[in-house]
Amino acid sequence: MHRVVILGPQRHVVTVTEELNLLGLSGRIATITAGWQEREAEDDELSVALGNRCVNLRLHARTDDVFAQDRPLFSAHRHRQDKLRQLQDIYRMRLDHLMAAASVLMARQGSPELLEPEREDTIEQLRSLDAHHLRRIRDVHEAFETQELPGERRALAQHRAEVQGILDECDAVAIAGGHVSTLIGRMRLMDVASGMTAKPILAWSAGAMVLTDRIILFHDRPPEGAGNPEVLDVGLGLAPGVVALPHATSRLKLEDEVRMALFSRRFAPADCICLDPGNRGRLDGRSWQFTDGTRCIRRDGRAVPASPEVA
């Protein structure tokens, strides 16, 4: 049985139904649509795709309820989010300069003997910055946990218990896309991960991103101009070894191999997996398998079929 399935966007090409059938499960499916924020409950289409046997965990609404009941926790949470936002701004300042240097070096023509060690060293600095940023984020999360003891707060504990109860009765978990920061934040607050590690998980778009080790934001075509891919947060680590790239074809300049090579090398040894509509990856607990058409970005910047060898 494949324990974790990551999928491309489901809006136009629905593959989750087929993947669910392949798992051979007959019981209920716990769904997480917190990434849809206020539209969390508008899950009729999803319910049909999953065979009308869903139980929406309503993590977004539950969190709102917790915050309404527990104002000190709400304030502490808001304070943490402010701190994370400031950290992200500071990280971006450093990142911009390192990325500028790395981009110039990647595009530079000349002796590979001279250039390659410089490129590798610059990329190593990027990896170091990303790792440093992740440590800072972890520290903020840990400080929140130890200072606020959220698990001991009545309103939150009650919702967490309800969520765990629902998870216990379900055969699998399905995580939809949406706002990735909201999604990981609400999943973390409700401590969902601890209740779903033993169950098959199907996740797409932002849902796939939160399962990986690191959540990487990316967009090469926003109206304000291409920015630099950035580490946003620690992922749940349930889909290890990959960087999930939903909508890769529309969001990334895949044709720019120099840019993509930097992207791929920066996040190595993880494999950068394009999750376009119809794409799928299955983790059986040990290794990944990707369906035809699913691509990964190689270290040379080329997007090539991901299966069976991804790097």
Specify whether the CB–CB gap between 271 and 307 falls below 8 A: no
Q: Which helix (H) or strand (E) is 182 found in, with range?
A: helix 180-189
Contact range with other proteins by CB under 8 A, out of 21-29, 163-171, 180-188, 255-263 = 180-188
Instruction: Please tell me whether residue 180 binds other proteins under the rule CB under 8 A.
Output: yes
Pairing of β 242-246 and β 271-275: parallel
Contact range with other proteins by CB under 8 A, out of 109-117, 146-154, 175-183, 255-263 = 175-183
Number of residues forming the site for other proteins (CB under 8 A): 26
Q: Which is nearer to other proteins, 177 or 281 (CB)?
A: 177
Q: Which is nearer to other proteins, 46 or 283 (CB)?
A: 46
- When computed from its CA atoms, the radius of gyration of the chain, rounded to whole angstroms, is 20
Number of neighbours of residue 127 by Cβ within 10 angstroms: 14
Instruction: Please tell me whether residue 72 binds other proteins under the rule CB under 8 A.
Output: no
The distance of closest approach from Cβ of residue 24 to other proteins in the complex, given in angstroms and rounded to an integer, is: 28
Span 188-217, contacts to other proteins by CB under 8 A: 205-206, 209, 217
The distance of closest approach from Cβ of residue 92 to other proteins in the complex, given in angstroms and rounded to an integer, is: 11
Based on the number of CB atoms within 10 Å of its own CB, is 225 exposed (0-12), middle (13-18) or buried (19 or more)? exposed
Q: Which is nearer to other proteins, 37 or 287 (CB)?
A: 37
Q: Which is nearer to other proteins, 19 or 220 (CB)?
A: 220
The distance of closest approach from Cβ of residue 198 to other proteins in the complex, given in angstroms and rounded to an integer, is: 26
Span 213-252, contacts to other proteins by CB under 8 A: 217-219, 222-225, 227, 232, 246-247
Cα separation, 258 vs 226, in Å, equals 15
Instruction: Please tell me whether residue 112 binds other proteins under the rule CB under 8 A.
Output: no
The distance of closest approach from Cβ of residue 277 to other proteins in the complex, given in angstroms and rounded to an integer, is: 11
Write the CA distances from 129 to 31, 86, 119, 266, integer angstroms: 35, 16, 15, 11
Binding mask 257-276 for other proteins (x = CB under 8 A): --------------------
Give the angle subtended at the CA of 53 by the CAs of 274 and 58, to the nearest 5°. 70
Q: Which helix (H) or strand (E) is 67 found in, with range?
A: helix 59-69
The distance of closest approach from Cβ of residue 32 to other proteins in the complex, given in angstroms and rounded to an integer, is: 14
Q: Which is nearer to other proteins, 10 or 122 (CB)?
A: 10
The distance of closest approach from Cβ of residue 164 to other proteins in the complex, given in angstroms and rounded to an integer, is: 26
Cα separation, 68 vs 66, in Å, equals 5
Cα separation, 244 vs 4, in Å, equals 13
Span 12-41, contacts to other proteins by CB under 8 A: 35, 38
- 25-61 burial string, b = 16+ CB within 10 Å, else e? beebbbbbbbbbeeebeebeebeebbeeebebbbbbb
- Binding site residues, other proteins, CB under 8 A: 9, 11, 35, 38, 64, 67, 177-182, 205-206, 209, 217-219, 222-225, 227, 232, 246-247
